[in-house]
Amino acid sequence: MNTAWKVIAAAAVLALVFVVIKYINLDGDSGKEITKKTTIKSGRIQKIVRGTGLLKSSERAVIVSKVKGTIEEITVKEGQDVQKDQVLARLKNDEIDNDIKEQEGAVEKLKKRLDELKKDEEEDMTEVMAARVTWERAKSEYKTKKKEYDSGKSHMGENDEYPPNYSQEQWEKLKKEVEIREKEMELARRKYEDAKPTEAEIREAEGKYDNATHELSKLKEMAEGREMTSPLKGTVLKVFIDEETLKNDPKKEYEPGTQFFLVADLTTMEVQGTLFESDIDKIMEEQRVKVFLKPHAKTYENARITWISSIGKAGTDQGRWDIKIGFHQPPKDVKEGIRVNFEIIVYSSEKQYPRLPVEFVQKEKNRNRHFVIVRKNGRDTKREVTLGASDDHYYEVRKGLKEGEDVILKMTAND
């Protein structure tokens, strides 16, 4: 039994020694120096902001009913191309039809009355003119006699009963004639006024006729609203009234403002996307954009930013900003509403520079200076470099390196 325990104890000691030796060897490897090398090549640096969005047409319209009514006819289907002002559907409304008939009758009656008044004025012109001549003659005779009477009266003394050049009989006769002529003049004036329609009557009739005509126009405009037409040339993307509903309830009345169709001009397709607040200061209109349509495996290289919102929207982590991206040649045979990815090129080198992987750049402590280790003919030399723009992987080297030179990076294994 003692021998067995001795064997077990010896095995345990050997195992422990093996683990310790293995640990020591690993620890030694962790401090081992590793050298990485890269050969400088020239190229262009591009700084890219990435985002997602939806394909939508900038020219689009939802067509709604303008009046109440039942569906008489739907003339288009989803996916159908339509012209501007093409009829898409018609509604039926018997109440509007009845109102139009009633108003047309009222307009006809008022027009007839107005025509009669104007006709009477024209036909009775002879009688009117004769009455006016009689009135003018009566006025003239009255004025003559009145003047004679006033002249005679002016020659009378305070106590005279008649003028010196008149007998009493002549004076009384003159007074009587003045009174008669005044009455004749007033009678002739009344006959003249009664012989023609008054201007007030004609104006009143014209006003009633104009108001009735205006009401009829409004009713006919409402009747035209029963026809729903496309405001643009495009494609019917959506018919909101499905055939099943129409079949099961053909007499259903639809209220004004009910959505019937969505029509869009697919030649105005654009990307409507969002960007994070951290990226928006790098973006400006007319910047070049690459758009990727993953479902169609297509890439559009020459898209441009056409609009950037002036106000951001709050997000859970940071603000988001809306942008719109237009195409030089809009995508064809693609559906509205598909999600796309895009890359906005916010910086692109004006020429090719030596490109240095970012991990090979070293910075002097407490100094804003950068350097690299250049290996040439087996010798390593520290060299200061002037850096330009960078992307996620490379720096532009404006000064200090040339294409073909080798740059090394020394590090330990645990780095």
Euclidean distance between CA atoms 352 and 355, whole angstroms:
9
pLDDT score of 366 = 76
CATH of the domain at 236: 2.40.50.100
Same-domain status, 137 and 200? yes
Q: Are residues 109 and 204 in the same domain?
A: yes
User: Which SS3 state, helix, strand or coil, does residue 312 take?
Assistant: coil
Shared domain for 248 and 344, answered yes or no, is no
Question: 310 lies in a domain?
Answer: yes
Non-local (6+) Cβ contacts of 347 within 8 A are 45, 46, 47, 389
User: Does some domain include residue 11?
Assistant: no
Domain boundary among 216, 238, 253: 216
The answer to whether residues 153 and 65 belong to one domain is no
- The whole-angstrom separation of Cα 326 and Cα 339 is 15
**Tokens read off for 104:** 């047309």
Q: Which residues of the chain have pLDDT under 70?
A: 1-31, 120-128, 131-132, 135, 192-193, 195-198, 315-317, 413-415
Same domain, 279 and 313: yes
Q: Helix, strand or coil for residue 194?
A: helix
Distance, CA of 164 to CA of 172 (rounded, Å)? 14
> Which of 348, 376, 392 finishes a domain?
348
Which residue, among 315, 309, 301, 317, has the nearest Cα to 283 in the 3D structure? 309
Number of domains, the chain: 4
- Residues 132, 203 within the same domain: yes
Single out the residue of 23, 38, 16, 30 nearest to residue 394, CA to CA: 38
Domain of 407, CATH number, reads 2.40.420.20
Same domain, residue pair 378 and 359: yes
Pair (105, 205) in one structural domain: yes
Instruction: Examine residue 389 and state whether it is found in any structural domain, yes or no.
Output: yes
- Identify the domain containing residue 84 by its residue range: 61-91+227-264
